[in-house]
Amino acid sequence: MKYVNKITELIGNTPLIKLGKTVAHLKPSIFMKLEFLNPAGAVKDRMAYYIIKEGEKSGQLKKGDVIVDNSSGNAAIATSMVAAALGYKAVFAVADKTSREKIDLIRAYGADVIITPTHVPWDDPRSSYMQAYELGQQPGYFYISQYHNQLNVEAHYRHTGPEIWEDTDGKITHLVAGIGTGGTISGTGKFLKEKNPDIQVIGVDPEGSMFYDWVNNDTTEGIELYPCKVEGIGTDMVVKAFHPEYVDYVIRAMDKESFITARRLVREEGIMGGGTTGSHLWAAMQVAKDLDEKAVIVTLACDSGQRYLSKMYSDEWMREQGYDIEEKKPQAVSLEQGRQI
């Protein structure tokens, strides 16, 4: 018999897929790491498990404690999964732009959700960051603090980086990764650059966020900040889990291009990613334009498009946002007449 005892044993070691049709016009090989095949369906599983296990080891997390954090949804889902598997209660503050599917998933795992307004800055007492922070200071709560916790970075340094290095036989030349907390790109980038300093680490920032200027112009001041529609990347706050020293430069991926690219990927290759998968692929294609056949680009499908069926995969929602999408040709078949109508 081959089996595991806990769902958490299945975290990580996600597969790499070589992209085909969508990138066929480009010379480099482009690979995508399918993070949506983690048990809780996103890139956050390793981090959630790592921080909770380290909390248990250090004695900071005790039986009966309530785990708390703020999240754009996926970290909350991952942490709820680990909390359920290890027997903890959990509560998460999430902004009201978060998809219905992700909020339902957090609740389905048994955790509580505090919905907070999206359109307030991080230091407003109503923000998801401040709501989680305040709860996290109370006795009986264990605060994950994914945006500032160095264990977030370490989880990717110990796991995501080595997985990519091994699966590409050390041939990776470029990593393209979006930045939310910064944990993925900082930990993975650090590991890969230690293995081979020539590897280029390229960040992806959505519109209205500060990572682009932080890295490319070395400033976090005077930037026009606003919430983007893509969920999971971007920040209006200086976050300690992001280490710009491991990032060569940052590409800006706009909401519209991100959604359109993800929608293309699922129809052309059957790979169903969320909005940031589209941002990543769009950015990876910009990088690839200037490179030859020797380049090996790795990017990530951080979560599944199933989390956004009511948003970016809804034609109606896309039109409401003002994004042009191809008109669908009539497909329905009349049962009575057995012909296309």
* Residues acting as catalytic residues: 44
Q: How far is the CB of 188 from ligand PMP (least distance, A)?
A: 9
Q: Determine the Cα–Cα distance for residues 61 and 52; give it in Å rounded to an integer.
A: 7
Residue choice 39, 274, 278, 305 for contact with ligand PMP (CB under 6 A): 274
Q: Can residue 161 be called a binding residue for ligand PMP (CB under 6 A)? A: no
Instruction: Return the C-alpha torsion angle 312, 315, 321, 323, nearest 10.
Output: 100
Among 302, 304, 308, 313, binds ligand PMP (CB under 6 A): 302
Least CB distance from residue 184 to ligand PMP, whole Å?
3
74 vs 209, which CB is nearer to ligand PMP?
A: 74
Find the binder of ligand PMP among 116, 276, 299, 304 (CB under 6 A): 276
- DSSP letter assigned to residue 179: -
3-state secondary structure 323-338: CCCCCCCCCCEECCCC
Strand partners, 303: 42
Q: Which of residues 50-89 bind ligand PMP (CB under 6 A)?
A: 72, 74-75
Task: Report the 10 Å Cβ neighbour count for 59.
Answer: 7
Q: What backbone phi and psi angles, to 5 degrees, belong to 324?
A: -70, 125
CA 53/CA 149 separation, integer angstroms? 14
d(CA 43, CA 51): 14
Q: Which stretch, 38-46, 52-60, 121-129, 325-333, contacts ligand PMP (CB under 6 A)?
A: 38-46
Q: Give the nearer residue to ligand PMP in terms of CB position, either 65 or 265.
A: 265
Q: Among residues 65 and 94, whose Cβ is nearest to ligand PMP?
A: 94
In the complex, minimum distance from the CB of residue 324 to ligand PMP, in angstroms, rounded to a whole number: 24
Residue 156 or 174 with smaller CB distance to ligand PMP: 156
Shortest reach from residue 273's CB to ligand PMP, in Å: 8
Taking CB atoms, the residue at the shortest distance from ligand PMP is 232
**Which residues, numbered 174-203, are part of the site for ligand PMP (CB under 6 A)?**
178-185
Burial class (CB in 10 A: 0-12, 13-18, 19+), 245: exposed
Residue closer to ligand PMP (CB basis): 65 or 180: 180
Residue entry with tokens 């505090």 = 114
Binding to ligand PMP, residues 228-267 (CB under 6 A): 232-233
Q: Which of 42, 77, 94, 318 binds ligand PMP (CB under 6 A)?
A: 42
Is the CB of residue 161 less than 8 Å from the CB of residue 192? yes
Among residues 11, 19, 40, 43, the one that binds ligand PMP under rule CB under 6 A: 43
Rounded Cα gap, residues 42 and 152, in angstroms:
14
The radius of gyration of the chain's CA atoms, rounded to the nearest angstrom, is 20
Phi-psi region of 180 (alpha: psi -120 to 50; beta: other; left: phi over 0): alpha
Residue 136 or 206 having the CB closest to ligand PMP: 206
**CB-neighbour burial class of residue 57 (10 A; exposed 0-12, middle 13-18, buried 19+):** exposed
Distances in whole angstroms, Cα of residue 26 to Cα of each of 64, 154, 292, 293: 53, 34, 8, 9
List of residues contacting ligand PMP (CB under 6 A): 42-44, 72, 74-75, 178-185, 232-233, 274, 276, 302-303
